[in-house]
Structure 1
Amino acid sequence: MSDIKIGIIGGSGLYKMDALKNVQEMEIETPFGKPSDAFIIGELDGVKVVFLARHGRNHTLLPTELPFRANIYAMKKLGVEYIISASAVGSLKAEVKPLDMVVPDQFIDRTRNRISTFFGEGIVAHITFGDPVCPNLAGLVADAIASLNLEDVTLHRGGTYVCMEGPAFSTKAESNLYRSWGATIIGMTNLQEAKLAREAEIAYATMALVTDYDCWHPDHDSVTVEMVVANLHKNAVNAQKAIQEAVRRLSANPVESEAHSALKYAVLTRLENVSPETKEKFGVILQKYL
């Protein structure tokens, strides 16, 4: 499956890619458990890609329940080198309106109950994470969105994504705290994906789809599920168009990414001293270095 270079992770509202052709489903086992769903392998305009519904195709997984390690490990096992992640978010800035798209370049971690690394069990690795998304891939995704001139959509290049635990939405005090930090958007999923993709040496970028103003905005009702769902459906149509264009551009001109060598100086453990069992478990991640 090494001919699959591009992975797509669909968030709330984006459970399939309608434009995929020659589709097949694949169940993948990992040392980190079962991924969120079967992987959907197909072609977008002749480019082979793999799609995963982050919460399952029937949206059965809470953000905290997501098997992040299994999802990213399986992408790596398939040969994926680039992940484009679509994610529903709330806005923390007046100028970032519902239905807008944001391609963030920073994250703030407000999660508490999640494992954000593959390593441990005798292997210590410390990736650099100052720039948590691949700037070249993020730029390509942003250019793809901009080229489409989507109705009612303003593109915002860069910005900070606050990743909260959930599943409840923010209190007003929390929302205003994040605004005071200068954050742009808030969601519940992408921080772990970004960290694990970096450890797996996969270039990663987020396409954030704004559904609401969180609860801080004085002229808007606090966020409700009904409000979010209505905008999710509109966002999903736009997201599929943008992803299709990004895949076309990436296939034609693959971008370079420092993520592809992220472990070169990150592993502190002498791997020759690691047990065969541990080497086997981490083999897909550490294949270049064993």
Structure 2
Amino acid sequence: MGKIAVIGGTGVCDTRMLTDIREDRLDTFYGPIQYIKGTYKGKEIIFLPRHGKNHSIPPHLINYRANILGLKRLGVTAIFTTTAVGSLNLKFKPNEFVLPHQFIDFTKTRHTSFFDGGENGVVHADMTEPYCRHLQRAVLKAATLLGDYTIHHGGTYVCTEGPRFETPAEIAMFAKWGGDVVGMTNVPEVCLAREAEMCYTTVSMVTNFAAGISAEMLTHAEVLTCMEENSERIRRLLMKAVEIYEDGDCRCRHALDYYGGFMV
């Protein structure tokens, strides 16, 4: 059985829930990662703070390739993540959760692949279903068992470069193109996980309505307040999903079969 990883903010993983806790570091070709390792309900869990231990790394400077490659090297096969998003869809309200089924990539400067030619060659990974259906089923079942969770199954995540918030004109365009929520961290993370043949899903927490939809000016404090108010709820949801999830073979694990598998 492979290990399970949780990628999110520092408030997502309460180490008091784990046993055999150890903080460690792993060097990869793309740079080091720092993580917390422990056991939960008999399962090996690795928590990776996406923005660094002290939340000091902005979304456009996160070393996504090191993070995903490091988890792969540690034996992780399934990744649950959290993302904070603004809503473009009036049906998706603040303090509710979304399990996206598609994404639109509006990032500009990020390394989006392990395969940039040269020694690693060129790979074209299929992204018809970017998010693992087995992980999403675990999240949905967890929400049902826990109760008192409004979780929308399906939606399109628009990923922007950041760190600035989007303009009302950009939000209007994203909405016309079918976007439901907007955030800054899901791409290229989801793409790299697919290349690395790992199961991956994200649970998006709606913190606000996006610019031009909200009647108020957006502030980072608003996002932080919502995250703080809901950190315990999203933590309970994720850990229940981890408890429910049973690791096994999945089409995500065969994404690069045509190329002989992931060998970076």
TM over 0.5: yes
Equivalent position of 1:90 in the other structure = 86
Aligned length: 262
Task: Select the residue among 239, 243, 251 that pairs with 1:258.
Answer: 251
- For residue 236 of structure 1, what is the amino acid of its counterpart? S
Length-normalised TM-score, structure 1: 0.85
CA change 1:162–1:75 in 2 (3 A) is same
Tell me the CA shift for residue 14 of structure 1: 3.3
Q: Percent same amino acid among aligned pairs?
A: 37
Bigger proportion of residues as strand: 2
Say which of 51, 55, 78 aligns to 2:51.
Answer: 55
- Do the aligned residues in 1 keep the contact of 2:2 with 2:78 (CA within 8 Å)? no
1:6 and 1:15 map into 2 onto residues whose CA distance is: 13
For residue 182 of structure 1, report the CA deviation from its aligned partner: 2.1
- Aligned residue identity for 1:182: G
Contact 1:126–1:266, Cα closer than 8 Å, also in 2: no
Map residues 195-210 of structure 1 onto 2, 5 A cutoff: 195-210=191-206
One of 178, 183, 186 as aligned partner of 1:187: 183
Aligned AA (1:121): G
Q: Distance in 2 between matches of 1:86 and 1:255?
A: 22
Larger CA deviation: 133-142 vs 153-162? 133-142
Higher alpha-carbon Rg: 1
The 3-state SS of whatever aligns with 2:48 is strand
Q: Distance in 1 between matches of 2:40 and 2:212?
A: 39
Which piece of structure 1 moves more, 106-115 or 40-49?
40-49
* CA positional deviation for 1:121: 2.1
- Name the CA shift for 1:117/1:59 in 2 (closer, same or farther; >3 Å): same
RMSD of aligned Cα (Å):
1.8
Indicate the residue corresponding to 2:118 in structure 1.
121
Partner in structure 1 of residue 211 of structure 2: 215
1:128-148 Cα deviation digits (max 9, x unpaired): 111111122222222212321
1:110 to 2:142 alignment: no
Q: Which amino acid aligns with 1:59?
A: H
Do the aligned partners of 1:4 and 1:49 also contact (CA within 8 Å) in 2? no
Does the C-alpha gap of structure 1 residues 143 and 222 become closer, same or farther in structure 2, counting only changes over 3 Å?
Answer: farther
Structure 1's consecutive aligned runs of 4 or more residues displaced over 4 angstroms after TM superposition are: 15-18
Kept after mapping to 2: 8 A contact 1:103/1:157: yes
